[in-house]
Structure 1
Amino acid sequence: MESKDYLKDISEIKNMMNKSSRFISLSGLSGILAGIYALVGAFIAHNIIQEIKIIENPLKRFFVIFDTVTTLFVVAVSVILLSIFTGIVLTVRKAKKNNARIWDGSSKRLVINFLIPLVTGGLFCLVLIDKAVFGLIAPATLIFYGLGCINASKYTLGDIRYLGLINVALGLVATQFVGYGLYFWALGFGVMHIVYGAVMHFKYDRIK
């Protein structure tokens, strides 16, 4: 009996230490919604790209492509901002429900470690746009986003590491299929986010 109580105490202490060092209020539902936003964005981008393909004049197509890049950039940024906003709202709601602090040492470390690869990747993508290397933009976003997830996984629920590894793998594979990057992007940011969010929701959120 004493042995069971001892093991229970150790387990409780371990859980307390884990909560103090990791931000565990991430919402699974926000992952699902982010995936849906990404799929909608990919659908819009796909339709825009298809309109370019029907232009027969090479010179006209060249100039239209540059204008289209700006439009696609706006679509991508809109998806990102909407995902971030949704994530913040749902995470704050979950944290309040669990009486957990929202902005503490663990959440700060989470954000910083996530943003380092993400900002680096964003700057790298701007270089790719400047050099007109459009075919590697989608793979680059997948790779750097995946690295951000892996880097941040040390300060939140470890499941996000698998999402990161999958996105890095998809990004690397996408570099070998230039021209199909949007489909990999939809798979990584869309489908994988929905799967990840569903797993997180049923594994952590639903039991609360």
Structure 2
Amino acid sequence: MEPKDYLKDINEIKDMMNKSSRFISLSGLSGILAGVYALIGSAVAYWLVRTSARGYLILDGTIFKLCLLILFLVALFSITTGIILTTIKAKKHGAKIWDSTSKRLVFNFLIPLIAGGLYILIILIQGKYGQTGALMLIFYGLALVNASKYSIGYIRYLGFIQIILGLIATLFPGYGFWLWVIGFGVMHIIYGGWMHFKYDRK
């Protein structure tokens, strides 16, 4: 056997090991749609706040509750779409959607996300909602970075971008809403589009 055959075999073994330890069926299209949902939701929320009698958000107001509902619906639609499209992609490639790797992915993703969600809920109850957008970006970024070792490694870079945007939002709270739009809307569309053309179309 020639040296190049050995190298080919080694590369094939490495690819098999990588696929067995990483969940690679995430759909890029679901990322695009998540970004679209975020843009639509933020546009509706912005319109509600700007056309309200006060023209700004207050914690105990009806507009604030509507914004929370919009946020919940954006998350619900994004998660549902992600599950459906990822399941379709996994079946197409003959991969399991729920195995030990995907379980580790979800577990590591949810740890920072749940901790961050509870922290944000606590400060909202305390009437401190000025940094909500920044905290959402930071904890979501941490969740992506934490889960990236069980999925396509490039996801960590999206996580880093979200964290950076969140930190910028803490420095400039007046731009928190727009940085949230960039992070959850624009960056999801860009990253989802890149994943779709790099992985999904093969």
The interval holding the TM-score normalised by the smaller chain is: over 0.9
**Equivalent residue for 2:54?**
55
1:38-93 CA-to-partner distances (Å, cap 9, x unmatched) read 000110111122124x538xxxx786853322111111110001000000000000
Q: Check conservation: 1:27, 1:90, Cα contact below 8 A.
A: yes
Letter in 2 for 1:158: G
Letter in 2 for 1:138: G
Q: Check conservation: 1:125, 1:140, Cα contact below 8 A.
A: yes
**Equivalent residue for 1:187?**
182
Distance in 2 (CA, whole Å) between partners of 1:20 and 1:186 is 35
Letter in 2 for 1:134: Y
Unaligned 5+ runs, structure 2? none
**Equivalent residue for 1:31?**
31
**Equivalent residue for 1:198?**
193
Q: 1:41 to 1:63 in 2, by over 3 A?
A: closer
Distance in 1 (CA, whole Å) between partners of 2:137 and 2:41 is 15
CA RMSD between the two structures: 1.6
> What is the count of residue pairs matched by the alignment?
202
**Equivalent residue for 1:2?**
2
Q: Secondary structure at the match of 1:179?
A: helix
Letter in 1 for 2:123: L
Q: Check conservation: 2:29, 2:193, Cα contact below 8 A.
A: yes
Letter in 2 for 1:196: Y
Distance in 1 (CA, whole Å) between partners of 2:58 and 2:114 is 28
Aligned mate of 1:83, from 78, 82, 87: 78
Letter in 2 for 1:55: R
Distance in 2 (CA, whole Å) between partners of 1:128 and 1:143 is 15
**Equivalent residue for 1:135?**
130
Between the two proteins, what is the percent identity of the paired residues?
56
Q: 1:133 to 1:104 in 2, by over 3 A?
A: same
TM-score (norm 2): 0.95
Q: 1:63 to 1:24 in 2, by over 3 A?
A: closer
- 1:202 Cα deviation (Å)? 1.0
- 1:133 Cα deviation (Å)? 1.3
